[in-house]
Amino acid sequence: MKHLHVSGRRWFTRNSGNTYHTAQTLMDGERGPAVPFSYGYGDHYLTTAAEALESAGHLIGREHHSNGSAEPLWLYCERNGIKFTYEVNDVSRRSDLGG
């Protein structure tokens, strides 16, 4: 893989105050694993995308730490010479999340 792109969508529920997201990965322009409807705010869509990529066998050698954390996607890409880009769009309705 030479280029990894993650495209996320976030939805904030005003009544409960929770944030949810979906994400789609592109590896060298080809669709990779997608993240279905998931809880998580901020850039958590990048974390769930990394987990989906790793589960599918695309992040070989991703570092894991004794405290349970894992190497961030941007660092994995930097360490492996992979161009990494990402974007996120905030949507107003759950149905706009897709996935």
Domain ranges of the chain: 3-97
In this prediction, residue 66 carries a pLDDT of 97
In this prediction, residue 99 carries a pLDDT of 62
pTM here?
Answer: 0.93
Q: Kindly give the confidence (pLDDT) of every residue in the chain, 99 residues in length, as a single tens digit, with 9 standing for 90 and above.
A: 999 999 999 999 988 899 999 999 999 999 999 999 999 999 999 999 999 999 999 999 999 999 999 999 999 999 999 999 999 999 999 999 886
Beta bridge partners of 5: 26, 85
In this prediction, residue 14 carries a pLDDT of 87
